[in-house]
Amino acid sequence: MDALDAKYPFFAAAREAVADAAVSLPELVAADAPAVERARERVERALMDGTVESESGTFPTESDYDVQAELLSYPIARILVSLLDSEPAIEKYAAAEAATAIGRIREDLATDDELRSVSTPTVELDDVLAEFDLAESVRAESSEAGSAGTGTSAVGAPGRDPAHYWIDVGPYLRLTSPSWGVSWRLVNRALSDGAVRVSREELLDALEAAVEDRVREGLPFELAAGEGIAAELESGVADLKRLLSERTYAGPVDVVAPELFPPCMTNLIEKAERDAALDPPESFALMAFLVGIGMTPDEVVAFCADTSLDAEGIRYQTEYLKDDRGTQYPPPTCETLANYGICHNEEDHMQVAADPLAYYEKRVADADEIDDWREENEIPADGGEE
């Protein structure tokens, strides 16, 4: 086992490392080993904050957990989330694992070559492409030709960090979705020799989807409740279910007052109003906030009518976020948003509230007079239908 296996536990090499270690997961669970506590934290943070990073810090430089505990927490977390018996919980867990992983991949790719030999192990883009059988499907764009014709893969492509890549149509359609925004629809993309042109960031977005698919695969496990490892994890599962039931707000504030929105949400709205595309974490954060304050899909579509966000993508995300099956995803915390570069703690607002929704609720409660956007735009508060 090494740090790279623990950073990316869904890689084939990590699975092999777990198998080679011949560690008994039931024995670890029975002994309540550090990996078990980390697994509980992994699932809790996935469902509550959209990340699986430890609260003690990033792995491996700051985390309290060692390589073995970090790596083995992953298969135990998959068992825990299976025992929650909730499809939305599984989806949100997989999304959190993917979001954390792509954040780590971005950091690895930004690491200078000189530091790679002395710092913790890192991956190259080619490593990630090979892991998901995309090495032959993704080609770096030639800076000279601006086409897919140069190079057979990212390996050996001109320039260490090409700005654009070409991905074969099949993998592109499998890993992306028109619900991400109108710009992702195939009709709006540049095509050449059966490949689609994407930016480096868009390629990473597609790889995040590949990670999510990998994590989601095989879940939930079929485990007999009250027997074996399921019995040993029963108290941990009960704690997670209790946490989910408690993590409900008293109710939406039932008022849409954009002038009281937290700075991070205002910044995202203004960015979209400039017709700039929001990346998936930005779009998710904004949609989670708007749903969290009680807006319906129809209201969100109307609210974002003059932005780069398209109605189809909005409806897909908001319907998903308004899940009524017990695991509604709250807006990410300010800490999580800061890790994505979305929150900049303007006016030290993290001292006021830990997440955008709580910040908004406090501002609404403190306001003397509020103009509801729905009333100004003649949109009924019950969901937009007369």
Residue at 301 is within a domain: yes
- Higher-confidence residue: 40 or 245? 40
- Give start and end residues of each alpha helix (H) in the chain: 3-7, 12-21, 25-30, 34-49, 67-83, 87-110, 113-116, 125-131, 169-175, 200-216, 228-232, 234-246, 263-273, 280-292, 297-303, 311-321, 334-339, 356-366, 373-376
Quick one: DSSP state of residue 51?
A: -
Chain mean pLDDT for the chain: 85
The whole-number pLDDT of residue 200 equals 95
Residue at 207 is within a domain: yes
pLDDT band at 50 (very low <50, low <70, confident <90, very high): confident
- For residue 214, give every residue at least 6 positions away whose Cβ sits within 8 Å of its Cβ, in sequence order, or none: 10, 132
The whole-number pLDDT of residue 113 equals 61
User: Which residues sit opposite 165 in a β-bridge?
Assistant: 140, 198
Three-state DSSP string of 298-323: HHHHHHCCCCCCCHHHHHHHHHHHCC
Q: How far apart are CA 54 and CA 70, in angstroms?
A: 9
The whole-number pLDDT of residue 116 equals 58
What average pLDDT score do residues 322-339 get? 66
Q: How far apart are CA 289 and CA 363, in angstroms?
A: 15
Residue at 165 is within a domain: yes
Note whether 159 and 292 are same-domain residues.
no
The whole-number pLDDT of residue 246 equals 54
Q: Convert the pLDDT of each residue in 127-175 to its tens digit.
A: 999 999 999 999 999 865 555 544 444 544 444 579 999 999 999 999 9
pLDDT over threshold 50, residue 382: no
Report how far apart, in Å, the C-alpha atoms of 65 and of each of 38, 55, 72, 382 are.
8, 11, 11, 47
pLDDT over threshold 70, residue 96: yes
| Least confident residue range of 294-308, 328-342, 355-369 | 328-342
Residue at 68 is within a domain: yes
pLDDT over threshold 60, residue 324: no
Contact 199, 164 (CB under 8 A): yes
Contact 171, 134 (CB under 8 A): yes
The whole-number pLDDT of residue 264 equals 93
Residue at 284 is within a domain: yes
Q: How far apart are CA 274 and CA 269, in angstroms?
A: 9
pLDDT band at 97 (very low <50, low <70, confident <90, very high): very high
Domain that holds residue 303: 258-376
Tokens of 229: 């490892």
Percentage of the chain exceeding pLDDT 90: 52
Note whether 100 and 28 are same-domain residues.
yes
Q: How far apart are CA 11 and CA 55, in angstroms?
A: 23
| Least confident residue range of 14-28, 111-125, 359-373 | 111-125
What average pLDDT score do residues 256-282 get? 93
Residue at 292 is within a domain: yes
Residue at 370 is within a domain: yes
Note whether 239 and 336 are same-domain residues.
no
pTM of the model: 0.71
The whole-number pLDDT of residue 159 equals 45
Helix/strand/coil for 46:
helix
Note whether 15 and 43 are same-domain residues.
yes
Note whether 100 and 23 are same-domain residues.
yes
Note whether 183 and 34 are same-domain residues.
no
The whole-number pLDDT of residue 150 equals 43
pLDDT band at 176 (very low <50, low <70, confident <90, very high): very high
- For residue 102, give every residue at least 6 positions away whose Cβ sits within 8 Å of its Cβ, in sequence order, or none: 204, 205, 207, 208, 211
- Higher-confidence residue: 127 or 349? 127
Q: How far apart are CA 164 and CA 146, in angstroms?
A: 9
Contact 158, 151 (CB under 8 A): yes
Residue at 384 is within a domain: no
What average pLDDT score do residues 365-381 get? 82
Note whether 237 and 295 are same-domain residues.
no
Note whether 56 and 190 are same-domain residues.
no
The whole-number pLDDT of residue 350 equals 79
Note whether 166 and 191 are same-domain residues.
yes
Note whether 72 and 195 are same-domain residues.
no
Note whether 149 and 39 are same-domain residues.
no
Tell me how many domains the chain contains: 3
Q: How far apart are CA 195 and CA 172, in angstroms?
A: 8
What average pLDDT score do residues 224-238 get? 87
pLDDT over threshold 80, residue 189: yes
Note whether 279 and 367 are same-domain residues.
yes
